[in-house]
A and B are shown apart, each in its own frame.
Chain A
Amino acid sequence: MATSEEKLLLSVSYEMEKFSNDWRHCDYSASYLAQLISSRATDPTKQSIMLSTVINELLEVIYHLKEKTRSLMIEIKDSGSDIIIDFCLSMSEKNQLLFNSFFSCNDAEQLKKVYLSELKRVVNNEEAHRFIGLYEIIADYDVQLSYQKKPEINILRMKLAA
């Protein structure tokens, strides 16, 4: 739901089962949504590339959750200074625990350090954290990520400067 300060720009809903049957849906959706949001931006090209990059990473994380039976709704809002993208989906308890654990730290600097150490694992051919894509968008693009659990629904919120 958009608050009074947040203007809802766009809302898209997917059936998770259909979304999850083709990896390319992440790329297509990210690029399509990014272009729509950016069409009125000061520099549409640059903002579209940026938004597509971060939306795609989040969609890839959601794709890997393998939540095939439920729906995914994406709400895009404008708060004036920020673009807010809410990914609303129902999740298994296991996945909820994973997100709870990931969001137990909300210090951006600390998260950047974790990203660096995860990249070291990649370089050393070790298995990296399954949410490394989330660490990346925080570290590289100053995206604010948050997680909220509501009855029947979980909201992953992405906030970045407009």
Chain B
Amino acid sequence: MTYQVMYNQNDQMVTFTGCMRPQTQEELLEVNKTLAMAAEKAMGMLYLNFNRLEFINNMAFHEVMKHIGLIINAKPKLTIKIIISSVIPWSEKKMTWIKQFYDRISIEQYDNNFYPGQEVIENDHFIPVLRTQTKIIWAQEKKLLAEHGLKKGMSVADICCGVGDFISLVYQEFNPSQIIGIDHSKPNLNYARRIAEDNGLSDKLKYHYGDAGNLFFIRDNEFDFVTCRLSLQIFDKPELILKELHRICKPGGKIYLTNETYSKTLGYPQSEIISRTYEEASKMFKFLGMDLEFGPKMNSYLQDAHLKDIRIDPMMITTDSTSREDFKVVVESWRDYICNDLAIANKKDETYRKELTQGFNSHIRAIESKRGFASWPIWVASGTKS
């Protein structure tokens, strides 16, 4: 039984980590001591965070439950919030029992709302965007992956894998010794698993439901190459995700990221309306806590994560480097998603949405026109774990 229990006074939070399956109550002295100390020091709200506790047996659950009762009875002005994760199947079931016995207890599912834009990103309307994007990026990205250190036979983890197209392509191109994809969108994962099954690859491509900020089910130093593509930019606390990517990467292994400067997506003719459209779209993402201008910030984030051999390359998707037809399909998927789901989440009115739609249509015409030009800037970054 290896567990850790820690109290952080700043957050007024007790965090439980690991596996709590004791044989005797004496093995839980640390839990009782920490909960007693937390109850003594906390004022108003005390948080009990179980989202990194993988296992708990009956004895430990009973002890925790009894101790919560002691706190509730001894501190009438204190309320307790229990934080659980949907990734851990026992947590909701067990913790709901506690609510039956005590007042002033609430339960929060942490990964229900672990980044501000979650509701807009994790629905199945986003699937066409993910599918079409990978298609036009891959030709350039497979070369860059090799330049950034991905070699045949490496173990690969793709965090925020979306619908899994990327790991499927990496599997075919680089023949990894092991490859997994992790995502927190159930529609994405269902889609990914169906595609893997259709292609006879279910045994090779493994998908796990999980959130990028809490990969407790992956051991430290497990993967040679850890990727997180077009995703750090959607989280309001990218440093927390990067910390997990760093933890699961082997020493000497690589962390590989891609992010955009979405407002710099260009087109000609009608350059101005096209630029304004992407600037507006970027602002709407920002309103939901997403930073689609994250690309140039990767250098400083990778340095803060103490990575070495940091390398950053531009990956410019243009009407010259990819099929115009495929590029058009991508912009159509952006238009449909941004002018509907995203604009509605931003509470934009009909007029605004119509103007935005016209802007995207201008971009589509620029792509279709033989004399026109369009580009989408993505930045590729990697660093080595010491």
Q: Which residues of A contact B (CB under 8 A)?
A: 23-24, 26-27, 31, 40, 42-46, 49-50, 52-53, 56-57, 60, 116, 119-120, 122-123, 125, 128, 132-133, 136, 140-141
Q: Check A49 against B101 for contact (C-beta < 8 Å).
A: no
Q: Check B101 against A123 for contact (C-beta < 8 Å).
A: yes
Q: Which residues of A contact B141 (CB under 8 A)?
A: none
How many angstroms from the CA of A31 to the CA of B57 in the assembled complex? 13
Residue from the list A43, A49, A123 in contact with B54, Cβ < 8 A: A49
How many angstroms from the CA of A72 to the CA of B37 in the assembled complex? 43
How many angstroms from the CA of A119 to the CA of B21 in the assembled complex? 18
Residue from the list B55, B58, B101, B208 in contact with A45, Cβ < 8 A: B208
Q: Which residues of B contact A60 (CB under 8 A)?
A: 21, 57-58
How many angstroms from the CA of A140 to the CA of B105 in the assembled complex? 20
Q: Using known A-B contacts A116-B100, A122-B62, A123-B65, determine if residue A45 contacts B217 with beta carbons closer than 8 Å.
A: yes
How many angstroms from the CA of A76 to the CA of B206 in the assembled complex? 22
Q: Using known A-B contacts A49-B55, A49-B89, determine if residue A119 contacts B19 with beta carbons closer than 8 Å.
A: no
Q: Which 8 A-B pairs have the closest CB atoms?
A: A23-B23, A140-B93, A45-B208, A50-B89, A122-B62, A45-B217, A27-B21, A133-B58
Of chain B, the residue at the smallest CB distance from A123 is B101
Q: Check A123 against B208 for contact (C-beta < 8 Å).
A: no
Of chain A, the residue at the smallest CB distance from B102 is A123
How many angstroms from the CA of A113 to the CA of B206 in the assembled complex? 39
Please tell me if B193 contacts chain A, counting CB pairs below 8 Å: yes
Q: Which residues of A contact B202 (CB under 8 A)?
A: 40
Output the least CB separation between B128 and chain A (Å): 23
Please tell me if B203 contacts chain A, counting CB pairs below 8 Å: yes
Q: Which residues of A contact B55 (CB under 8 A)?
A: 27, 31, 49, 52-53, 56
Please tell me if B116 contacts chain A, counting CB pairs below 8 Å: no
Supply 7 A–B pairs (Cβ within 8 Å), ascending by A. Answer: A24-B1, A42-B193, A45-B87, A49-B89, A49-B90, A119-B62, A128-B62
Residue from the list B58, B89, B217 in contact with A57, Cβ < 8 A: B58
Q: Can you name 13 extra interface pairs (CB under 8 A) apart from A43-B189, A44-B206, A133-B57?
A: A23-B23, A27-B1, A27-B55, A45-B208, A46-B208, A49-B88, A49-B217, A53-B55, A60-B57, A60-B58, A119-B65, A122-B62, A141-B89
Of chain A, the residue at the smallest CB distance from B24 is A23
Residue from the list B57, B90, B94, B208 in contact with A43, Cβ < 8 A: B208
How many angstroms from the CA of A24 to the CA of B206 in the assembled complex? 29
Q: Check B208 against A119 for contact (C-beta < 8 Å).
A: no
Please tell me if B207 contacts chain A, counting CB pairs below 8 Å: yes
- Specify the main secondary structure of chain A where it touches its partner: helix
Output the least CB separation between B244 and chain A (Å): 15
Q: Check B209 against A46 for contact (C-beta < 8 Å).
A: yes
How many angstroms from the CA of A26 to the CA of B19 in the assembled complex? 12
Residue from the list A23, A27, A46, A122 in contact with B19, Cβ < 8 A: A27
Q: Which residues of A contact B88 (CB under 8 A)?
A: 49
Of chain A, the residue at the smallest CB distance from B96 is A140
Of chain B, the residue at the smallest CB distance from A128 is B62
Residue from the list B58, B203, B208 in contact with A40, Cβ < 8 A: B203
How many angstroms from the CA of A56 to the CA of B100 in the assembled complex? 25
Q: How many residues from B make CB contacts under 8 Å with A?
A: 31
Q: Check A45 against B210 for contact (C-beta < 8 Å).
A: yes
How many angstroms from the CA of A140 to the CA of B208 in the assembled complex? 23
Can you list, as one digit per residue, whether each of B80-102 has a CB less than 8 Å from chain A (1) or not (0)? Answer: 00000001111001100100110
Output the least CB separation between B103 and chain A (Å): 13
Of chain A, the residue at the smallest CB distance from B101 is A123
Q: Using known A-B contacts A44-B208, A46-B87, A56-B57, determine if residue A123 contacts B203 with beta carbons closer than 8 Å.
A: no
Q: Check A141 against B93 for contact (C-beta < 8 Å).
A: yes
Q: Which residues of A contact B100 (CB under 8 A)?
A: 116, 119
Q: Which residues of A contact B57 (CB under 8 A)?
A: 56-57, 60, 133
Q: Check A140 against B90 for contact (C-beta < 8 Å).
A: yes
Q: Which residues of B contact A44 (CB under 8 A)?
A: 206, 208
Q: Which residues of A contact B217 (CB under 8 A)?
A: 45, 49
Of chain A, the residue at the smallest CB distance from B89 is A50
Please tell me if B377 contacts chain A, counting CB pairs below 8 Å: no
Output the least CB separation between B324 and chain A (Å): 38
Output the least CB separation between B207 and chain A (Å): 7
Q: Which residues of B contact A49 (CB under 8 A)?
A: 54-55, 88-90, 217
Q: Which residues of A contact B69 (CB under 8 A)?
A: 123
Output the least CB separation between B187 and chain A (Å): 14
How many angstroms from the CA of A42 to the CA of B62 in the assembled complex? 32
Please tell me if B308 contacts chain A, counting CB pairs below 8 Å: no
How many angstroms from the CA of A66 to the CA of B314 in the assembled complex? 66
Please tell me if B66 contacts chain A, counting CB pairs below 8 Å: yes
How many angstroms from the CA of A31 to the CA of B55 in the assembled complex? 10
How many angstroms from the CA of A23 to the CA of B21 in the assembled complex? 9
Of chain A, the residue at the smallest CB distance from B100 is A116
Residue from the list B89, B193, B203 in contact with A53, Cβ < 8 A: B89
Q: Check B208 against A122 for contact (C-beta < 8 Å).
A: no
How many angstroms from the CA of A136 to the CA of B60 in the assembled complex? 13
Q: Which residues of B contact A120 (CB under 8 A)?
A: 101
